[in-house]
Amino acid sequence: MIRVTKIHPSSSDILNKPNLRVAAYCRVSTDNSDQLVSLETQIMHYESYIKSNPEWDFAGLYYDEGITGTKKEKRPELLRMIADCELSKIDLIVTKSISRFARNTIDCLDLVRRLTKLGISVYFESENINTGSMESELMLSILSGLAEEESTSIAQNNKWSIQKRFQNGTYKIACPPYGYDAFEGELIINEQQAEIVRYIFAEILSGKSFHKIADELNSNSVPTKKGGRWTGTTLRGMVENEKYVGDALFQKTYSDSQFNRYKNEGEKEQYLIRNHHEPIISNNVFEAVQKVVEQRGKEKGVEKFSEKYQNRYPFSGKIVCSQCGGKFKRRVNSHRRKYISWSCTTHIENIKKCSMKQLMDSDFEFAFVTMMNKLIYSHQNVLKPLLVGLRGVNTVDTHANSQSIDKKLEENEEQQNVLTTLMTKGYLDSIVYKKSSNNLLQEADSLQRQKESINRLLHSADCQGS
């Protein structure tokens, strides 16, 4: 027989308790004017509703505006209200409906049960449900499930609508890049900022580095779009933004069914609209800057996926994820206290594809030192058998593998040359070129590492044979 555990509030008959401290929670999903008027109406209604009851004390009004309700973590006022409940400042919460409180069944029931354990009830006005009576939990579960379905349906409809606007080129950019303002859905050049954009592109062509330009802008008190400081990374992102030549690439990111956002690495179709708006930079200048940036990477030997890039730090390119096989990337966290950690690149780009969490740099250092000590003290049992095995290496097959890799590297280089020729002659789109070029660079880097491993193996075998 199924056992049912009934959760009782710490105080009985809470609605009839005198001087009940009552708070209200309101929310709207978007920040347009009609919705905000609705929010103001809700605020006025509940403030009056609570204060009109002589047995209730007004404990405050909490409201979130312009925020999607699918995740409670994205609603600061809801979280503040829960914190006040835990501090025993509230006895009863009044809200318009389940969909205003939570559109996720798990979140809704989790919040209700959490509040019930604190002796706090929630009254949903539209559904006439009071959680002080836990017999209504089944109905609450059903109704919150319907609210969740409604939220998912609305999200799917919005995605479909956005997708159609992507396809026909009518999508309106809400957050314009530096140098532009949004006016009635159109990107309009902000001349004051546009001068800075032209200056940045010109300075790169003159030979200055991203960090040097960023320092100059900060020294001259030139603010970023959001009033912050310039960084080399910010400028690198700017010069790669196609919007400065008047084009617009849509769906650079996408969200899954759980509303988690990811960078689009080919999972979804992208839409490139040529001559979408007035350009700030000419195509010739834009392409010239791309070539300068690419050439700098080659000269420094630290272009992405290159050998030097992979060996900037002792553990660079050497830590492999046990879950997905991806390489780990070094990251510096400066929030509150500064520390260094390593994260799987697959996890960074798409947490859904790899759940491997970050690991501290100090942990790797400790593991490395521990292993080195073991090898030093146990070399007779570990290293000596390995050296004996190297004597049995089939050098003929190994040389054949090395030659096969050389051939693949030559083919890879030819493909890169063809790509560059096609782009130079205007036969290939720059975005397609970048994606294909990066894939070839990754392949070449992998082949080069294989070749180096084989060469080390052959060298060790030769040393043992001599």
Q: Within a 10 A sphere around the Cβ of 143, how many other Cβ atoms?
A: 20
Tens of pLDDT, residue by residue over 190-237, are 999 999 999 999 998 888 888 889 999 999 999 998 888 888 888 988
**Burial zone of 303 (CB within 10 Å; 0-12 exposed, 13-18 middle, 19+ buried):** middle
The listed range with the strongest mean pLDDT (67-71, 108-112, 285-289) is 285-289
Pairing of strands 121-124, 129-130: antiparallel
Mean pLDDT, rounded, for 314-334 = 81
With vertex at residue 175, the alpha carbon angle to CA 172 and CA 179, rounded to the nearest 5 degrees, is 105
Mean pLDDT, rounded, for 420-427 = 72
Rg of the chain taking only CA atoms, in angstroms = 30
- Using an 8 Å Cβ cutoff, are 92 and 22 in contact? yes
H or E stretch at 396: helix 395-424
Query: What contacts 92, CB < 8 A, 6 or more positions away?
Result: 14, 15, 20, 21, 22, 23, 56, 120, 121, 122, 123
Tens of pLDDT, residue by residue over 366-420, are 888 888 888 888 777 777 776 666 565 555 566 667 778 888 888 888 887 777 7
- Using an 8 Å Cβ cutoff, are 63 and 26 in contact? yes
Q: Which residue has the tokens 């939990």?
A: 137
E-strand ranges in 345-457 read 359-360
SS (H, E, C) 127-141: CCEECCCHHHHHHHH
State yes or no: pLDDT of 166 exceeds 90: no
Confidence of residue 151 (pLDDT cuts 50, 70, 90): low
Q: Which residue has the tokens 């956002």?
A: 261
State yes or no: pLDDT of 108 exceeds 90: no
- Using an 8 Å Cβ cutoff, are 147 and 99 in contact? yes
Supply the pLDDT for residue 73.
59
- Rounded mean pLDDT of the chain? 76
Tens of pLDDT, residue by residue over 438-463, are 788 888 878 887 777 777 666 655 55
Identify the bridge partners of residue 320 per DSSP, sorted by sequence position.
327
CA 332 to chain centroid, in Å, comes to 16
Residue 90 in tokens: 């509230």
**Burial zone of 28 (CB within 10 Å; 0-12 exposed, 13-18 middle, 19+ buried):** buried
Q: How far apart are the first and last CA of the chain?
A: 78
pTM for the model = 0.40
Top-confidence residue, 11 or 408: 408
DSSP class of residue 92 equals E
State yes or no: pLDDT of 466 exceeds 90: no
Tens of pLDDT, residue by residue over 345-381, are 888 877 878 888 888 988 988 888 888 888 888 777 7
